[in-house]
Amino acid sequence: MPGGFAFLDLLEQDPRLAYYTQLYGKGLNPLQQGYFQGQYQDIYSRYLGQLGQGMLGAQQRGQSLSDYLGQPQQKFTEYLQQTPFTERWTQLPPELRPGGGRSRFAPQTRWLV
């Protein structure tokens, strides 16, 4: 890179660095941050699965491995930006959110006998 160092390339060297940069740089509340701290492995595994699906698709199209690897692949930072943490949070059912649960929206009914 002329005139400087490609700092963003460092994020691709260690996927955890890219993940936590996205996690703590986006203004999430503490409950959201706490939840996503433990979700790194799941999200990274989904990214790897997406890359594997790309390889399978290339093989089914009859593309050689060297041709497939010569194409630009989606970086982990790009994958994280596809579905930001705030969007992932809103997609969670209430019972999976820390401090959530259905009782918050539908309190238990008590019958007097």
Nearest C-alpha neighbor of 84 from the set 25, 8, 42:
25
Q: Residue 15: give the domain boundaries.
A: 7-104
Q: Which two tokens stand for residue 54?
A: 């790309």
Confidence tier at 18 by pLDDT (50, 70, 90): confident
Q: Render pLDDT for 40-71 as a digit per residue (tens, 0 to 9).
A: 999 999 999 998 898 888 889 898 888 887 88
Residue 55 lies in a domain: yes
Residue 46 lies in a domain: yes
- Comparing 9 with 100, the larger pLDDT belongs to 9
Residue 2 lies in a domain: no
Residue 109 lies in a domain: no
Nearest C-alpha neighbor of 96 from the set 34, 41, 18:
34
Find the mean pLDDT for residues 73-80: 86
Alpha carbons within 13 angstroms on the beta-carbon side of residue 14 total 6
Contact (Cβ atoms closer than 8 angstroms) between residue 101 and residue 95: yes
Residue 76 lies in a domain: yes
Residue 110 lies in a domain: no
Q: How many domains does the chain have?
A: 1
Give the CA dihedral 45, 12, 50, 96, nearest 10 degrees: 40
Is the pLDDT score of 21 beyond 60? Answer: yes
Distance CA 40, CA 22 (A): 11
Residue 60 lies in a domain: yes
Residue 88 lies in a domain: yes
Find the mean pLDDT for residues 85-107: 73
